[in-house]
Amino acid sequence: MKRLPELTEQELRRYWSHVNVQGPDDCWPWIRTHPESYGRTRIYFRGSGFRPHRVAYFLHHNIDPDVHPVKHTCGFLDCCNPNHMYLNPPRRESAPFDVLTKEARKRFLSKVNQQEFDDCWLWTGKIHHAGYGLFKHGCISYAAHRVSYFLHTGIDPGPTLVCHTCDTPLCVNPKHLWLGTDEDNTRDRDIKARGPVGGRHGGVKLTEDQVLEIHARLATGEGCTSIAKDYIVGRAAIAAISRGVTWTHLI
Ligand SMILES: [Zn+2]
Ligand SMILES: [Zn+2]
């Protein structure tokens, strides 16, 4: 199976324009172009076809499912909600961190901007478009914070998510990382999104009106970077709005 390339903004936009993003527990149907393509749909990136749900899995977990089937808990083959997917077999292969050599570990640490123990340690290497640090070893790209978790705790997170207490995807400070289940992560996100939602939330810079404007601009095909500049927020914030990760109460 061909490895998924790192997707450009334009490719990502094309991908998400085909996904009917719903609530975190709902199915996110792939909007098919052919009525009889159920379960056989492909999206093409640079000449290679990929099953849409596998792309969603990759974008969410930052792990290329590679040779492993990505199965659905909902049984709906065209569903692109990563919360409805699991790898079969459940992978240890998702994070075979024990293959990291001494040199690789050294190389990893050289890309970490180590600070005081309580501060965020930002990743200075390659960055995944979802905002996470990427560490390449062999032909596999690992999420940097997952590698950091492994290097400092000795625990291979396997198929389990490694979450941030600091909400800074680029942070690899092991003190800010915790091992959560998919459920924990959703709950954590819900708690953070709960209470005063959207524009009334303490740390949020965008207003609801602005987010609606942003959605309108995204719908015209405008890129995240130029929109981010206008609103003086990070590109990742716009990408998250575009993917329906944040401000979901407005969608
Ligand atoms: Zn589903
Ligand atoms: Zn942090």
| Model pLDDT for residues 143-194, shown as the tens digit of each residue | 899 889 888 887 777 777 888 888 888 999 999 998 876 555 555 555 544 3
Which numbered ligand comes closest to the C-alpha of 76? 1
Number of domains in the chain: 3
- How high is the pLDDT of residue 141? 74
Kindly report the average pLDDT of the chain as a whole number.
Answer: 78
| Residue 58 forms part of a structural domain | yes
Is 176 in the same domain as 201? no
Is 108 in the same domain as 142? yes
Q: In the predicted model, is pLDDT for residue 71 greater than 50?
A: yes
- Which band of pLDDT confidence, cut at 50, 70 and 90, is reported for residue 107? very high
Which numbered ligand comes closest to the C-alpha of 121? 2
| Residue 2 forms part of a structural domain | no
Which numbered ligand comes closest to the C-alpha of 78? 1
Is 67 in the same domain as 106? no
C-alpha 242 – ligand 1 centre gap (Å): 20
C-alpha 201 – ligand 1 centre gap (Å): 30
- How high is the pLDDT of residue 244? 64
C-alpha 40 – ligand 1 centre gap (Å): 16
- How high is the pLDDT of residue 123? 96
pTM score, two decimals? Answer: 0.41
Q: Which domain holds residue 79?
A: 9-87
Q: Are 143 and 162 in contact (CB under 8 A)?
A: yes
Answer with the residue of higher pLDDT: 142 or 125. 125
Provide mean pLDDT across the span 48-59.
Answer: 91
- Which band of pLDDT confidence, cut at 50, 70 and 90, is reported for residue 17? very high
Q: In the predicted model, is pLDDT for residue 89 greater than 70?
A: no
Is 122 in the same domain as 168? yes
| Residue 203 forms part of a structural domain | yes
Answer with the residue of higher pLDDT: 250 or 26. 26
C-alpha 25 – ligand 1 centre gap (Å): 8
Q: In the predicted model, is pLDDT for residue 113 greater than 90?
A: yes
- Which band of pLDDT confidence, cut at 50, 70 and 90, is reported for residue 132? confident
- How high is the pLDDT of residue 186? 55
| Residue 3 forms part of a structural domain | no
Provide mean pLDDT across the span 90-119.
Answer: 76
